Amino acid sequence: MSAPPRESGRESGRESGRGMGGATGGATGGGTRDVPPRGPFVSGALARFAAAGIVLFARLVTAVRGIWDEGPPDGGRRVYFANHSSHGDFVLLWTVLPPRARARTRPVAASDYWLASALRRFIGQDVFRAVLIERERGPGGDDPIDTMTRALDAGDSLILFPEGTRNTGSTALLPFRSGLYRLAAARPDVALVPVWIDNLNRVLPKGERVPIPLVCTVTFGAALELGAGEPKAAFLERATAALLALAPGTSIEPSDDTPFDGPAP
Amino acid sequence: MNEARSDLLALLGGVGVVLVVATLIGRTLAARRPEGRPSPVIDNLNARINAWWGMTFLLGLAFLGGRIGVVLLFGFCSFAALREFVTLTDTARADHRALVAAFFLVLPLQYLLVWQAWYGLYSIFIPVYAFLFLPILAALGGSTERYLVRVAETQWALMIAVFCVSHVPALLTLRIPGHEGREVLLIAWLVVVVQISDVLQYVWGKLAGRTELAPTLSPSKTVEGAVGGIASATAIGAALAWITPFRVHEAAALALVVTSMGLAGGLVMSAIKRDRGVKDWGHLIAGHGGFIDRLDSVLFAAPVFFHLVRYGWADT
């Protein structure tokens, strides 16, 4: 299985040429994939049923709890950026959101994975309404940042994994790729909310098929904004620090000797 | 049978009256506190009382459902407790298969054996067979790093969360002459006495607590609370002798044993929490914390109570 939800962030250095203005302009370039097709009524009911089932299953296995200082997120437009260590990350984040916010929150995910079969297409497009982006952009392909800004402009919130790939090592976070910065530059008015998803990598380690039930938490931090003229490196460093600050073990007393991360074999 | 049911309803009614009084006191305290002055203690008290309503309702429902209802309820408690316990352990990826077996093989089998009343097997299934089988799976996982620690943690998790908890529904399988059809009342007596002891230790501690009992383990436990709580819970246990096969002085002695075990269980589970640097085991029971926070006293009392009753009163 390849990594499903995925942030597109392409190599650094690109954004200087791309800049902030290109987003809306690029929107006219088509891109059928980010707008999920409105299925017939039956498919919609099935999608809602599947969504309820997935939420119930996630709660049964992980008893997941959302932790937020300033109350649960309302229906407002946000970009949630989270650590990525498991296939189920966006499901967990999505599960703890209040239903109203959940209905308007879409994960950003790789189209090659989520369009690969009918079942994945149903789950990705109808259930989670994923914003699908292309990992390998061919000539004439859509710019992933344009795809994401179109979803934001339509009033939706996004779930983004700025590490760009699943972190299966023992470090807490991989270096962020540039996508978060480019999205922030394209839509500076959208709040960027760091979200730490804890323990899910232990529930289903790479290569295992049966999940073990463990208590997971999803911690929401204070929203970030891109400062005027803030350089990319400084912004990404700030965003990384904001996300890491939410990880248990960094905020709990020192007696807590990182019980949540077994050594990687 | 009908007499057993009416006794059970009388007991549940009594618990209901206590809860109504507690609810009135909690709401009065909340209404009388000065405007704009938050009081975490009163909020927590009311959250706890609300959760007690829910737990009493579920327990009452399981009792009326008979053996299958009780086995299912405590099976779920074991699942939730094991989930909380394993979350706090240092298990590694190499333990994944062993943990899958613990959750989806050992736990259901233990409760199946309890349901079938197969005492000879359920009393040794985990301490013998699971304890031999799971380390094999963990060894096959290939990692030897902290192997002994990881295996010991998994085994203790099973012992606490599954083996001990399963001895509550196992009380239904005891055959006590002259007490047939009233087995569920044994569980009701054990749960009421142990839990009321916890509550009364909390109340006595808040009213008269001066001397810390074990400051390194649990900052909230006091000598006055422990003595007052255990003494008054023992009196309540003796007063409830009419629902049990015990005479009044026997009920008092057993109540003293189970409430003392309950206090010890709370201290042991606190030591584990301190070791892991957490305050609560979980969050699913509002105001109380996790399942283990609420069960810690019962799970230490249950096996001891089970064996005392089995050898003292039951046909073996």
Q: Quick check: B94 and A265 CB within 8 A?
A: yes
d(CA B150, CA A255): 19
What single letter denotes the amino acid at residue A171? T
From residue B129, alpha-carbon distances to A48, A198, B126, B150, B175 in Å are: 44, 33, 6, 18, 26
- The label of the residue with tokens 């999803």 reads A218
Q: Which of A206, A214, A252 to mutate to test the interface with B (most CBs of B within 10 A)?
A: A214
- Whether residues A265 and B103 touch (CB distance < 8 A) is answered with no
B87 inside 8 A of chain A by CB? yes
- A116 pLDDT band (50/70/90 cuts)? confident
Flag if A259 and B82 touch (Cβ within 8 Å): no
Nearest by CB to A205, from B87, B90, B96: name it.
B96
Beta pairing partners, A191 = A78
Q: Please give the C-alpha separations between residue A67 and each of A78, A195, A196, B76, in angstroms, as whole numbers.
A: 17, 10, 10, 25
Of A76 and B126, more confident:
B126
Over chain B (316 residues), the average pLDDT of each successive run of 10 is 80 92 91 78 86 90 88 94 92 89 96 94 96 93 89 94 96 89 90 93 88 84 93 96 94 97 93 85 77 89 96 87
Structural domain spans, chain B: 67-173
Q: CB–CB of B98/B107 below 8 Å? A: no
Q: What is the pLDDT of residue A184?
A: 92
Which residue of chain A has the CA closest to B86? A214
Q: What is the tens place of the pLDDT at every residue in A140-196?
A: 667 888 889 999 999 999 999 999 888 887 788 898 988 899 999 999 889 999 999
Rounded to whole angstroms, the Cα distance separating A97 from A100 reads: 8
| Cβ neighbours of residue A23 closer than 8 Å, sequence gap 6 or more | A143, A145, A146, A149, A186, A187
Is B89 an 8 Å CB contact of chain A? yes
Alpha carbon distances (Å) from B244 to B4, B119, B230, B252 = 10, 21, 19, 12
Return d(Cα A249, Cα A261) in angstroms, integer: 10
Which chain A positions have a beta carbon within 8 Å of B143's beta carbon?
263, 265
Tell whether B105 is within 8 A of chain A (Cβ). Answer: no
The CA radius of gyration of chain A, in Å to the nearest whole number, is 18
Structural domains of chain A ordered from first start: 65-244 (3.40.1130.10)
Count CB-CB contacts under 10 A for residue B113. 20
* Residues with Cβ within 8 Å of residue A6, at least 6 apart in sequence: A108, A109, A110, A113, A133, A135, A161, A164, A165
User: DSSP state, B212?
Assistant: E
- Chain A to chain B, count of Cβ pairs less than 8 Å apart? 60
Q: Determine the pLDDT at residue A249.
A: 64
Chain A partners within 8 Å of B86 (Cβ):
212-214
**CA A77 to mean position of chain CA atoms:** 14
pLDDT of A42 reads: 65
pLDDT band per the 50, 70, 90 thresholds, residue A41? low
Residues of chain A contacting B83 with CB distance shorter than 8 Å: 63, 213-215
For the segment A207-235, the average pLDDT, to the nearest whole number, is: 90
Please tell me the distance from the alpha carbon of residue A76 to that of residue A82, in angstroms, as a whole number. Answer: 18
Query: At residue A135, does pLDDT exceed 80?
Result: no
Element (H, E) at A55: helix A41-62
- Report the distance separating Cα A210 and Cα A232, nearest Å: 40
Residue of A nearest to B102 (CA): A212
Query: What six digits make up the tokens of A62?
Result: 């992980």
Report the chain A residue with the minimal C-alpha distance to residue B87.
A214
- Does the beta-carbon distance from B277 to A252 stay under 8 Å? yes
Query: What interhelical angle do B291-312 and B248-276 show, nearest 10?
Result: 140
